[in-house]
Amino acid sequence: MPLKSADLLSSLQGRGLEVSPGMVPVAWGWATVDRERAALDFAPLRFRAAPDEEALGASTSRTTLSDSTVLVLLEPSTEGRLAAALARHGEGPVAVWLADPVPDSASASPSRPTAIGGRARLLRPEHPWGPFVLYHQPVISNEPTVRPAIDADAEAIAALFTDEGYPAGPSDIRERLSRFSSPFSTVRVAEIGGELVGFVAVHAMPRFEHGDRIARVLALVVDAGVRERGIGHLLMSAAEGIARETGCAFIEVTAGRHRPDAQHLYESLGYDAGIATYLRKRL
Tell me the per-residue pLDDT of 54-83, one tens digit each, with 9 for 90 and over: 889 999 999 989 888 999 999 998 888 999
Specify the amino acid at residue 121: R
Please give the pLDDT value at position 1: 52
Mean pLDDT of 163-181: 92
Mean pLDDT of 91-104: 86
Average pLDDT over residues 9-32: 87
Could you tell me the fold of the domain covering 5-137?
Answer: 2,3-Dihydroxybiphenyl 1,2-Dioxygenase; domain 1 (3.10.180)
What mean pLDDT value characterizes the chain?
A: 88
Q: In this predicted model, which residue has the larger pLDDT, 275 or 101?
A: 101
Per-residue pLDDT at 226 exceeds 90:
no
Following CA atoms 163, 166, 168, 170 in sequence, which dihedral angle do they give, to the nearest 10 degrees?
-60
Sorted by where each begins, the domain ranges of the chain are 5-137, 145-268
Q: How confident is the model at residue 225 (pLDDT cuts 50, 70, 90)?
A: confident
Looking at residue 110, its pLDDT comes to 84
pLDDT for residue 94 is more than 90: yes
Using CA atoms, how far apart are residues 91 and 33, in angstroms rounded to an integer?
7
Percent of the residues in the chain that have a pLDDT greater than 90, as a whole number: 49
Residue 261 has pLDDT above 90, yes or no: no
Specify the CATH number for 145-268; select among 3.40.50.850, 3.50.50.60, 3.40.630.30, 3.40.50.920.
3.40.630.30
**Residues 108, 123: contact at Cβ < 8 Å?**
yes
218-245 b/e (C-beta count within 10 Å ≥ 16 → b): bbbbbbeebeebebbebbbebbbebbee
Q: What is the pLDDT of residues 105-156, one digit of tens each?
A: 667 788 888 888 888 889 887 788 989 999 998 766 678 889 999 887 888 8
Least confident range from 23-27, 92-96, 185-189, 239-243: namely 23-27
Are 73 and 86 spatial neighbours (Cβ–Cβ below 8 Å)? no
**pLDDT of res. 208:** 93
